A and B are shown apart, each in its own frame.
Chain A
Amino acid sequence: MALLDYFLRKKEKQVTTASRAKERLQIIVAHERNSRNKQPDYLPQLTADILVVLRKYIKVSDESFSIKLDNKDGDLNVLELNIELHDEQGSS
Protein backbone atom coordinates (compact mmCIF):
# COMPACT_ATOMS: atom_id res chain seq x y z
CA MET A 1 0.00 0.00 0.00
CA ALA A 2 2.81 2.37 0.86
CA LEU A 3 4.19 1.76 -2.61
CA LEU A 4 0.88 2.81 -4.12
CA ASP A 5 0.71 5.90 -1.89
CA TYR A 6 4.17 6.88 -3.01
CA PHE A 7 3.16 7.08 -6.65
CA LEU A 8 -0.24 8.61 -5.97
CA ARG A 9 1.28 11.36 -3.89
CA LYS A 10 3.23 12.59 -6.90
CA LYS A 11 0.01 13.23 -8.76
CA GLU A 12 -1.60 15.02 -5.85
CA LYS A 13 1.12 17.65 -6.03
CA GLN A 14 -0.88 19.55 -8.64
CA VAL A 15 -3.42 20.65 -6.08
CA THR A 16 -1.28 21.36 -3.02
CA THR A 17 -1.94 24.61 -1.19
CA ALA A 18 1.58 25.74 -2.06
CA SER A 19 0.90 25.49 -5.77
CA ARG A 20 -2.34 27.39 -5.34
CA ALA A 21 -0.42 30.06 -3.45
CA LYS A 22 2.10 30.33 -6.25
CA GLU A 23 -0.55 30.59 -8.91
CA ARG A 24 -2.49 33.28 -7.05
CA LEU A 25 0.67 35.23 -6.35
CA GLN A 26 1.83 35.12 -9.94
CA ILE A 27 -1.46 36.58 -11.10
CA ILE A 28 -1.75 39.34 -8.50
CA VAL A 29 1.93 40.30 -8.68
CA ALA A 30 1.82 40.53 -12.48
CA HIS A 31 -1.30 42.66 -12.24
CA GLU A 32 0.21 45.01 -9.68
CA ARG A 33 3.46 45.31 -11.61
CA ASN A 34 1.55 46.29 -14.72
CA SER A 35 -0.28 49.06 -12.99
CA ARG A 36 2.84 50.54 -11.45
CA ASN A 37 5.02 50.40 -14.54
CA LYS A 38 2.68 52.37 -16.71
CA GLN A 39 4.95 55.31 -17.33
CA PRO A 40 3.94 56.66 -20.73
CA ASP A 41 6.55 56.83 -23.49
CA TYR A 42 6.23 60.58 -23.76
CA LEU A 43 7.34 61.27 -20.18
CA PRO A 44 11.09 61.72 -20.87
CA GLN A 45 10.40 64.08 -23.78
CA LEU A 46 7.79 65.97 -21.76
CA THR A 47 10.33 66.38 -18.96
CA ALA A 48 12.92 67.75 -21.34
CA ASP A 49 10.42 70.16 -22.95
CA ILE A 50 9.18 71.47 -19.60
CA LEU A 51 12.75 72.10 -18.49
CA VAL A 52 13.46 74.08 -21.67
CA VAL A 53 10.46 76.31 -21.07
CA LEU A 54 11.27 76.78 -17.39
CA ARG A 55 14.85 77.69 -18.13
CA LYS A 56 13.73 80.52 -20.38
CA TYR A 57 12.59 82.30 -17.26
CA ILE A 58 14.32 80.85 -14.24
CA LYS A 59 17.43 78.98 -13.27
CA VAL A 60 16.57 75.33 -12.57
CA SER A 61 19.23 72.77 -11.80
CA ASP A 62 18.61 69.10 -12.52
CA GLU A 63 18.60 68.35 -8.79
CA SER A 64 15.93 70.89 -7.97
CA PHE A 65 13.53 69.52 -10.54
CA SER A 66 11.53 66.32 -10.46
CA ILE A 67 8.59 65.01 -12.40
CA LYS A 68 6.41 62.04 -11.53
CA LEU A 69 3.30 60.51 -12.97
CA ASP A 70 1.49 58.72 -10.19
CA ASN A 71 -1.39 56.35 -10.49
CA LYS A 72 -3.62 56.76 -7.46
CA ASP A 73 -5.86 53.77 -6.80
CA GLY A 74 -6.12 52.79 -10.41
CA ASP A 75 -8.29 55.47 -11.95
CA LEU A 76 -6.72 58.79 -11.07
CA ASN A 77 -3.48 59.92 -12.66
CA VAL A 78 -1.54 62.75 -11.11
CA LEU A 79 1.29 64.53 -12.86
CA GLU A 80 3.49 65.89 -10.15
CA LEU A 81 6.09 68.58 -10.83
CA ASN A 82 8.49 69.68 -8.14
CA ILE A 83 10.62 72.70 -8.79
CA GLU A 84 12.74 74.24 -6.09
CA LEU A 85 13.14 77.97 -6.56
CA HIS A 86 16.13 79.68 -5.06
CA ASP A 87 15.51 83.22 -3.87
CA GLU A 88 18.31 85.02 -5.61
CA GLN A 89 17.62 83.28 -8.90
CA GLY A 90 13.87 83.65 -8.98
CA SER A 91 13.66 87.20 -10.25
CA SER A 92 16.04 87.09 -13.20
Chain B
Amino acid sequence: MARIIVVTSGKGGVGKTTSSAAIGLGLALKGHKVVLIDFDIGLRNLDLIMGCERRVVYDFVNVINGEATLNQALIKDKRVSSLSILPASQTRDKDALNKENVGKVLDDLGKLYDFIICDSPAGIEAGAMMALYYADEAIVTTNPEVSSVRDSDRILGMLASRSRRAELGLEPIKEHLLLTRYCPKRVAEGEMLSVEDVEDILSIPLLGVIPESQSVLKASNAGEPVILDTDSDAGQAYQDVIDRLLGETIEFRFLLAEKKGIFSRMFGG
Protein backbone atom coordinates (compact mmCIF):
# COMPACT_ATOMS: atom_id res chain seq x y z
CA MET B 1 0.00 0.00 0.00
CA ALA B 2 1.35 3.36 -1.05
CA ARG B 3 1.71 6.08 1.54
CA ILE B 4 -0.25 9.12 0.38
CA ILE B 5 1.34 12.25 1.81
CA VAL B 6 -0.06 15.73 1.27
CA VAL B 7 2.24 18.72 1.59
CA THR B 8 -0.04 21.53 2.69
CA SER B 9 -0.03 24.83 4.58
CA GLY B 10 -3.01 27.09 4.03
CA LYS B 11 -0.80 30.08 3.42
CA GLY B 12 0.99 30.52 0.13
CA GLY B 13 4.71 31.02 -0.33
CA VAL B 14 5.82 29.08 2.72
CA GLY B 15 7.66 26.38 0.79
CA LYS B 16 5.16 23.66 -0.11
CA THR B 17 6.47 23.06 -3.61
CA THR B 18 10.11 23.37 -2.59
CA SER B 19 9.46 20.83 0.16
CA SER B 20 7.44 18.48 -2.05
CA ALA B 21 10.24 18.46 -4.61
CA ALA B 22 12.97 17.91 -2.02
CA ILE B 23 11.06 15.19 -0.18
CA GLY B 24 9.96 13.39 -3.35
CA LEU B 25 13.45 13.32 -4.77
CA GLY B 26 14.96 12.41 -1.38
CA LEU B 27 12.68 9.40 -0.96
CA ALA B 28 13.41 8.27 -4.52
CA LEU B 29 17.15 8.57 -3.92
CA LYS B 30 16.65 6.09 -1.07
CA GLY B 31 15.35 3.62 -3.63
CA HIS B 32 11.61 4.09 -3.13
CA LYS B 33 9.17 4.42 -5.99
CA VAL B 34 7.74 7.92 -5.71
CA VAL B 35 5.23 9.97 -7.67
CA LEU B 36 4.86 13.70 -7.12
CA ILE B 37 1.48 15.19 -8.01
CA ASP B 38 0.95 18.91 -8.55
CA PHE B 39 -2.59 19.75 -7.38
CA ASP B 40 -2.26 23.44 -8.13
CA ILE B 41 -4.48 23.42 -11.22
CA GLY B 42 -3.99 26.61 -13.20
CA LEU B 43 -0.80 27.59 -11.38
CA ARG B 44 1.53 24.70 -12.04
CA ASN B 45 5.02 25.13 -10.66
CA LEU B 46 6.26 21.80 -9.39
CA ASP B 47 7.54 21.04 -12.92
CA LEU B 48 9.70 24.16 -12.79
CA ILE B 49 11.13 23.36 -9.36
CA MET B 50 11.85 19.80 -10.53
CA GLY B 51 13.45 21.09 -13.73
CA CYS B 52 11.15 19.16 -16.09
CA GLU B 53 8.97 22.03 -17.35
CA ARG B 54 9.91 21.49 -20.99
CA ARG B 55 8.96 17.83 -20.90
CA VAL B 56 5.31 18.36 -19.93
CA VAL B 57 3.03 17.00 -22.66
CA TYR B 58 -0.05 15.79 -20.84
CA ASP B 59 -1.21 16.67 -17.35
CA PHE B 60 -3.37 15.56 -14.41
CA VAL B 61 -6.58 16.95 -15.94
CA ASN B 62 -5.89 15.22 -19.27
CA VAL B 63 -5.66 11.94 -17.37
CA ILE B 64 -8.87 12.64 -15.48
CA ASN B 65 -10.72 13.51 -18.70
CA GLY B 66 -9.44 10.37 -20.38
CA GLU B 67 -7.47 12.37 -22.96
CA ALA B 68 -4.23 10.72 -21.93
CA THR B 69 -3.19 7.63 -20.02
CA LEU B 70 -1.28 7.89 -16.77
CA ASN B 71 1.78 6.55 -18.53
CA GLN B 72 1.62 9.30 -21.12
CA ALA B 73 1.26 12.03 -18.51
CA LEU B 74 3.83 10.86 -15.96
CA ILE B 75 7.25 12.44 -16.45
CA LYS B 76 10.14 10.26 -15.41
CA ASP B 77 12.79 12.17 -13.50
CA LYS B 78 16.10 12.30 -15.37
CA ARG B 79 18.16 12.01 -12.18
CA VAL B 80 16.37 9.15 -10.42
CA SER B 81 14.43 6.61 -12.44
CA SER B 82 12.14 5.63 -9.56
CA LEU B 83 10.65 9.15 -9.43
CA SER B 84 7.82 10.44 -11.60
CA ILE B 85 6.00 13.75 -11.75
CA LEU B 86 2.34 14.25 -12.63
CA PRO B 87 2.08 17.93 -13.58
CA ALA B 88 -0.96 20.09 -12.96
CA SER B 89 -2.88 21.52 -15.85
CA GLN B 90 -2.00 25.11 -16.65
CA THR B 91 -5.19 26.04 -18.47
CA ARG B 92 -8.21 24.11 -17.23
CA ASP B 93 -10.16 25.36 -14.29
CA LYS B 94 -9.85 23.63 -10.97
CA ASP B 95 -13.38 22.23 -10.96
CA ALA B 96 -12.02 19.48 -13.18
CA LEU B 97 -11.03 17.55 -10.04
CA ASN B 98 -13.55 15.75 -7.87
CA LYS B 99 -13.39 13.05 -5.24
CA GLU B 100 -14.28 10.24 -7.64
CA ASN B 101 -11.85 10.99 -10.44
CA VAL B 102 -8.97 11.94 -8.14
CA GLY B 103 -9.59 8.77 -6.14
CA LYS B 104 -9.39 6.70 -9.28
CA VAL B 105 -6.05 8.23 -10.33
CA LEU B 106 -4.61 7.78 -6.82
CA ASP B 107 -5.80 4.18 -6.81
CA ASP B 108 -4.01 3.47 -10.06
CA LEU B 109 -0.84 5.24 -8.87
CA GLY B 110 -0.97 3.34 -5.58
CA LYS B 111 -0.41 0.10 -7.49
CA LEU B 112 2.78 1.44 -9.04
CA TYR B 113 4.41 3.53 -6.32
CA ASP B 114 5.44 3.36 -2.65
CA PHE B 115 4.89 7.06 -2.01
CA ILE B 116 2.38 9.48 -3.51
CA ILE B 117 3.31 13.05 -2.62
CA CYS B 118 0.50 15.55 -3.21
CA ASP B 119 1.69 19.14 -3.54
CA SER B 120 -1.31 21.18 -2.41
CA PRO B 121 -2.25 24.62 -3.68
CA ALA B 122 -2.48 27.41 -1.11
CA GLY B 123 -5.83 28.32 0.40
CA ILE B 124 -8.73 26.23 1.61
CA GLU B 125 -10.66 26.03 -1.66
CA ALA B 126 -11.58 22.94 -3.64
CA GLY B 127 -8.06 22.34 -4.98
CA ALA B 128 -6.52 22.23 -1.53
CA MET B 129 -9.36 20.02 -0.27
CA MET B 130 -8.79 17.56 -3.13
CA ALA B 131 -5.08 17.40 -2.36
CA LEU B 132 -5.70 16.45 1.27
CA TYR B 133 -8.85 14.34 0.90
CA TYR B 134 -7.18 10.96 0.35
CA ALA B 135 -4.06 11.60 2.43
CA ASP B 136 -2.73 9.14 5.00
CA GLU B 137 -0.22 11.69 6.25
CA ALA B 138 0.12 15.44 6.04
CA ILE B 139 3.24 17.55 6.10
CA VAL B 140 2.05 20.91 7.38
CA THR B 141 4.57 23.40 6.08
CA THR B 142 4.80 26.44 8.31
CA ASN B 143 6.95 29.55 8.57
CA PRO B 144 7.69 30.90 12.06
CA GLU B 145 5.41 33.84 11.46
CA VAL B 146 1.92 34.67 12.77
CA SER B 147 -0.16 34.38 9.60
CA SER B 148 1.45 31.14 8.53
CA VAL B 149 0.96 29.52 11.96
CA ARG B 150 -2.67 30.57 12.10
CA ASP B 151 -3.36 29.24 8.60
CA SER B 152 -1.63 25.98 9.45
CA ASP B 153 -3.99 25.58 12.37
CA ARG B 154 -6.94 26.05 10.02
CA ILE B 155 -5.56 23.38 7.74
CA LEU B 156 -5.19 21.04 10.73
CA GLY B 157 -8.89 21.60 11.32
CA MET B 158 -9.62 20.64 7.70
CA LEU B 159 -7.46 17.53 7.93
CA ALA B 160 -9.45 16.45 10.96
CA SER B 161 -12.88 17.12 9.46
CA ARG B 162 -12.83 17.19 5.65
CA SER B 163 -10.60 14.27 4.74
CA ARG B 164 -11.70 10.82 3.65
CA ARG B 165 -10.32 9.41 6.87
CA ALA B 166 -12.42 11.86 8.88
CA GLU B 167 -15.57 11.22 6.86
CA LEU B 168 -15.28 7.45 7.17
CA GLY B 169 -14.27 7.60 10.81
CA LEU B 170 -10.93 5.89 10.10
CA GLU B 171 -7.70 6.49 11.95
CA PRO B 172 -6.98 10.21 11.51
CA ILE B 173 -4.39 11.60 9.11
CA LYS B 174 -0.92 11.48 10.63
CA GLU B 175 0.22 15.08 10.95
CA HIS B 176 3.80 16.30 10.70
CA LEU B 177 5.08 19.81 11.31
CA LEU B 178 7.69 21.08 8.87
CA LEU B 179 9.04 24.44 9.91
CA THR B 180 10.69 26.25 7.01
CA ARG B 181 12.66 29.48 6.60
CA TYR B 182 13.88 29.26 10.19
CA CYS B 183 16.43 31.84 11.38
CA PRO B 184 18.06 30.70 14.63
CA LYS B 185 19.77 34.06 14.99
CA ARG B 186 16.52 35.99 14.92
CA VAL B 187 14.97 33.48 17.32
CA ALA B 188 17.84 34.06 19.72
CA GLU B 189 17.20 37.79 19.47
CA GLY B 190 13.51 37.33 20.25
CA GLU B 191 12.43 38.47 16.81
CA MET B 192 11.10 35.17 15.55
CA LEU B 193 8.88 32.43 16.97
CA SER B 194 10.99 29.49 18.06
CA VAL B 195 10.48 25.83 17.15
CA GLU B 196 9.08 25.27 20.64
CA ASP B 197 6.67 28.19 20.29
CA VAL B 198 5.23 26.81 17.05
CA GLU B 199 5.09 23.26 18.46
CA ASP B 200 3.27 24.63 21.51
CA ILE B 201 0.66 26.39 19.43
CA LEU B 202 0.01 23.73 16.80
CA SER B 203 0.77 20.73 19.04
CA ILE B 204 1.68 18.28 16.30
CA PRO B 205 4.90 16.28 16.07
CA LEU B 206 7.89 17.98 14.50
CA LEU B 207 9.20 16.40 11.30
CA GLY B 208 11.85 18.90 10.38
CA VAL B 209 13.24 22.39 10.63
CA ILE B 210 14.63 23.87 7.43
CA PRO B 211 16.84 26.89 8.03
CA GLU B 212 16.43 30.00 5.88
CA SER B 213 19.05 29.42 3.24
CA GLN B 214 20.32 30.98 0.05
CA SER B 215 20.65 27.51 -1.39
CA VAL B 216 16.84 27.25 -1.76
CA LEU B 217 16.64 30.06 -4.31
CA LYS B 218 19.68 28.76 -6.13
CA ALA B 219 18.08 25.32 -6.28
CA SER B 220 14.85 26.61 -7.77
CA ASN B 221 16.77 28.79 -10.23
CA ALA B 222 18.45 25.66 -11.50
CA GLY B 223 15.47 23.29 -11.29
CA GLU B 224 17.50 21.02 -9.02
CA PRO B 225 15.64 20.29 -5.74
CA VAL B 226 17.65 21.61 -2.82
CA ILE B 227 18.14 18.14 -1.33
CA LEU B 228 20.71 17.56 -4.08
CA ASP B 229 22.82 20.36 -2.60
CA THR B 230 24.33 18.16 0.06
CA ASP B 231 26.71 20.88 1.21
CA SER B 232 23.92 23.26 2.12
CA ASP B 233 22.22 23.37 5.52
CA ALA B 234 18.77 23.29 3.90
CA GLY B 235 19.71 20.27 1.81
CA GLN B 236 20.97 18.44 4.89
CA ALA B 237 17.88 19.41 6.87
CA TYR B 238 15.67 17.89 4.14
CA GLN B 239 17.81 14.77 4.20
CA ASP B 240 17.03 14.46 7.92
CA VAL B 241 13.33 14.83 7.09
CA ILE B 242 13.60 11.86 4.70
CA ASP B 243 15.27 9.71 7.34
CA ARG B 244 12.56 10.61 9.86
CA LEU B 245 9.79 9.83 7.35
CA LEU B 246 11.43 6.44 6.92
CA GLY B 247 11.24 5.83 10.64
CA GLU B 248 14.67 6.80 11.89
CA THR B 249 15.22 9.00 14.91
CA ILE B 250 17.49 11.82 13.87
CA GLU B 251 18.52 14.66 16.10
CA PHE B 252 17.36 18.10 14.97
CA ARG B 253 20.09 20.31 13.52
CA PHE B 254 20.41 23.97 12.59
CA LEU B 255 18.26 25.09 15.54
CA LEU B 256 20.83 27.31 17.17
CA ALA B 257 22.60 30.40 15.98
CA GLU B 258 26.34 30.08 15.87
CA LYS B 259 27.26 30.71 19.43
CA LYS B 260 29.65 33.38 20.45
CA GLY B 261 32.08 32.21 23.06
CA ILE B 262 31.11 32.91 26.64
CA PHE B 263 33.96 35.40 27.00
CA SER B 264 33.02 37.49 24.01
CA ARG B 265 29.42 37.53 25.25
CA MET B 266 30.35 38.72 28.71
CA PHE B 267 33.08 41.11 27.85
CA GLY B 268 31.82 42.45 24.53
CA GLY B 269 32.98 41.55 21.10
> Interface residues, chain A, CB within 8 Å of chain B?
1-3, 6, 12-13, 16-19, 21-22, 24-26, 28-29, 32-33, 36, 66
B150 touches A28 (CB 8 A): yes
B190 touches A13 (CB 8 A): yes
Say whether B266 faces chain A, with CB atoms less than 8 Å apart: yes
Smallest beta-carbon distance B264→chain A, Å: 9
Closest Cβ neighbor of B153 among chain A residues: A29
Number of A-B contacts defined by CB within 8 Å: 56
The majority secondary structure among interface residues of chain B is helix
Say whether B197 faces chain A, with CB atoms less than 8 Å apart: yes
- Residue tally, chain B, CB below 8 Å to A: 25
B192 touches A3 (CB 8 A): no
A21 CA / B154 CA spacing, docked (Å)? 17
A26 / chain B contacts, CB cutoff of 8 Å = 200-201
B201 touches A29 (CB 8 A): yes
Smallest beta-carbon distance B189→chain A, Å: 8
A25 touches B146 (CB 8 A): yes
* Complex partner residue of A19 from B157, B190, B269, CB under 8 angstroms: B190
> Interface residues, chain B, CB within 8 Å of chain A?
145-146, 149-150, 153-154, 157, 161, 167, 187, 189-194, 197, 200-202, 265-269
Known interface pairs A22-B201, A25-B146. Does A17 touch B157 (Cβ–Cβ under 8 Å)?
no
B149 touches A2 (CB 8 A): no
A17 CA / B194 CA spacing, docked (Å)? 12
Known interface pairs A21-B146, A25-B146, A33-B153. Does A2 touch B190 (Cβ–Cβ under 8 Å)?
no
Known interface pairs A1-B268, A2-B267, A2-B268. Does A22 touch B157 (Cβ–Cβ under 8 Å)?
no
The 10 closest A-B pairs by CB, nearest first: A16-B190, A2-B268, A22-B197, A18-B190, A29-B153, A36-B157, A21-B146, A25-B201, A3-B266, A2-B267
B187 / chain A contacts, CB cutoff of 8 Å = 18
A26 CA / B202 CA spacing, docked (Å)? 9
B146 touches A18 (CB 8 A): no
B266 touches A18 (CB 8 A): no
A40 CA / B146 CA spacing, docked (Å)? 30
A13 CA / B188 CA spacing, docked (Å)? 10
A12 CA / B265 CA spacing, docked (Å)? 16
A22 / chain B contacts, CB cutoff of 8 Å = 193, 197, 200-201
